[in-house]
């Protein structure tokens, strides 16, 4: 897997991505042995990672990490797509879901039939956000709420020259 990444990504990016992936894996492994930390997903003993996306254009900053974790059998990875509240028609159209479900059929539509998907059903250990603004997320998906049950993560989008 690492050899594929090193060929596809520039060396600095692939080294940092691999380091980040190793950090998450090591962090979660250490939590399995700590009695004070919450239990990892007890159904299959995998590290549960959820990416909450409402801004489809921002997915590019997650794509490499998402695909790396998705290919690793130690992780249970989910794409949770919520509507973008800044869209006037957000209750009838979820642009992030429309875009990502075409690429990843396992993507989850967070708002369907006027009901919100219950994040806790995924038993997340880590939740990644596409943008750091709490006001852009459904109340139960806000970092201030999710941090009580999972580690909250955010990847800053950057341009490489």
Q: Taking Cα atoms as reference points, which of 60, 71, 64 lies closest to residue 7?
A: 64
132-155 pLDDT, tens per residue?
777 778 888 888 899 888 988 887
Q: Rounded distance, CA 54 to CA 104, Å?
A: 15
**Across the chain, what does the average pLDDT equal?**
77
Helices assigned H by DSSP within the chain: 2-8, 11-32, 60-70, 95-103, 143-146
In a domain, 55, yes or no: yes
In a domain, 66, yes or no: yes
- Output the pLDDT for position 80: 94
99-111 pLDDT, tens per residue?
999 999 999 999 9
Q: Rounded distance, CA 93 to CA 112, Å?
A: 10
First to last CA, the chain: 25
Per DSSP bridges, beta strands 115-116 and 111-112 are antiparallel
45 phi-psi bin (left φ>0, alpha ψ -120 to 50, beta other): left
Q: Rounded distance, CA 137 to CA 146, Å?
A: 11
pLDDT band at 25 (very low <50, low <70, confident <90, very high): low
How far are the Cα atoms of 59, 60, 62 from residue 157, in angstroms, in the given order? 10, 8, 9
Q: Which tops the pLDDT comparison, 21 or 105?
A: 105
Q: Rounded distance, CA 58 to CA 60, Å?
A: 5
In a domain, 10, yes or no: no
In a domain, 7, yes or no: no
Which is it for the CA torsion 55, 60, 66, 67, positive or negative? positive
Global pTM reads: 0.71
In a domain, 116, yes or no: yes
Determine the structural domain holding residue 93 and report its residue range. 46-154
For residues 15-23, average pLDDT = 63
In a domain, 106, yes or no: yes
Strand-pair partners of 53: 81
In a domain, 41, yes or no: no
33-63 pLDDT, tens per residue?
443 344 554 456 789 999 999 888 888 888 8
- Output the pLDDT for position 61: 80
In a domain, 40, yes or no: no
- Count up the domains in the chain and report the number: 1
CATH number, domain containing residue 115: 3.40.50
């Amino acid at each position: 897997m690492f050899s594929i990444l090193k060929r596809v990504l520039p060396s600095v990016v692939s080294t940092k991505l691999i380091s980040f992936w190793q950090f998450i894996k090591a962090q979660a492994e250490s939590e399995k042995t700590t009695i004070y930390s919450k239990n990892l997903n007890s159904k299959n003993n995998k590290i549960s990672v959820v990416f909450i996306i409402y801004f489809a254009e921002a997915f590019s900053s997650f794509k490499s990490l998402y695909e790396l974790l998705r290919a690793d059998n130690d992780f249970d990875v989910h794409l949770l797509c919520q509507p973008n509240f800044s869209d006037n028609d957000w209750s009838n159209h979820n642009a992030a879901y429309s875009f990502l479900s075409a690429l990843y059929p396992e993507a989850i539509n967070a708002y369907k039939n006027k009901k919100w998907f219950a994040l806790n059903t995924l038993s997340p250990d880590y939740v990644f956000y596409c943008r750091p603004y709490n006001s852009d997320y459904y109340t139960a998906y806000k970092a201030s709420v999710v941090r009580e049950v999972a580690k909250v993560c955010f990847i800053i989008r950057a341009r490489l020259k």
